[in-house]
Structure 1
Amino acid sequence: MAYNTPLDRTTSSSTLAENPKFQMLTRERARLGWTLSIAILIIFFGFILLVAFAPAFLAKPVAAGWTMTIGIPMGIGVILSGIALTALYVRRANGRFDQLTNELRREAGQ
């Protein structure tokens, strides 16, 4: 049975946990995950709070004579920010995190 994770049978988990590269990998992943999660929560809940407590602001037209309100581009911005933050995480995971994981695998002899 083949294992495709850094925690393979050939490397004990305590040895891996002591590896500085593994510690850096887990620290960077956690920091990025928490940072992006907090950012998206602020964006999403900020928009919901505007809907709840400032509907008149969101109902204003974008420009004089327009029927589109400020809420429409702001809602689109919320959606696009979620997509952008996801793309940022994927780019980082496929670059830096995969690089560190591959280095750990090489060191473990896989």
Structure 2
Amino acid sequence: MSGPDTTRILQNPKFRELVSERTRFGWVLSGVMLGIYLGFVLLVAFAKGFLAMKIGAGVTSLGILLGVAVILSAFVLTGIYVQRANGRFDDLTRDLNRDLAR
């Protein structure tokens, strides 16, 4: 890609909007995942008795269930990102491509 083309893309307001929205959304989801993971680690460090509580017939502990919830939350957050990427981000990319084709 040549210099003028690169400059034209970087100065396009729709490109800036796309980059800004995508970056902000990525940081928000990263922060949520970090909070979930940090909360779990803090529980492991400071509330071992709480995590050792047996659930139901005593086969599974609360810690196991919360660990599975941490893993599932990563899948859910990934799904949320994919949903946004296939919707809003694709729309912004399509608009940007139309703008640049002129």
TM-score by length of 2: 0.88
Structure 2, unaligned runs of 5 or more = none
CA distance in 1, matches of 2:42, 2:23: 28
Displacement after TM superposition at 1:67 (Å):
2.7
- Cα deviations by residue, 1:62-92 (Å, 9 ceiling, x for unpaired): 24x4331111211111011000000111111
Query: In the alignment, which residue of structure 2 is the partner of 1:83?
Result: 75
CA distance in 1, matches of 2:35, 2:45: 15
8 Å CA contact retained: 1:10, 1:108: no
CA distance in 2, matches of 1:88, 1:32: 10
- Flag as ranges the 4+ runs of structure 1 deviating above 3 A: 8-11
CA distance in 1, matches of 2:90, 2:38: 32
**Which one of the candidate residues 15, 19, 43 is aligned to 1:26?**
19
Query: In the alignment, which residue of structure 2 is the partner of 1:61?
Result: 54
Distance 1:94 1:10, change over 3 A: farther
Distance 1:12 1:51, change over 3 A: same
The one-letter code matched in structure 2 to 1:58 is L
CA distance in 2, matches of 1:39, 1:104: 29
Structure 1, unaligned runs of 5 or more = 1-7
Query: In the alignment, which residue of structure 2 is the partner of 1:42?
Result: 35
Q: Which has the higher helix share?
A: 2
What is the identity percentage for the equivalent residue pairs of Structure 1 and Structure 2? 46
**Superposition CA RMSD, Å:** 1.9
- Cα deviations by residue, 1:41-76 (Å, 9 ceiling, x for unpaired): 11112111111111111001124x433111121111
Q: Report how many aligned residue pairs link the two structures.
A: 102
TM-score by length of 1: 0.82
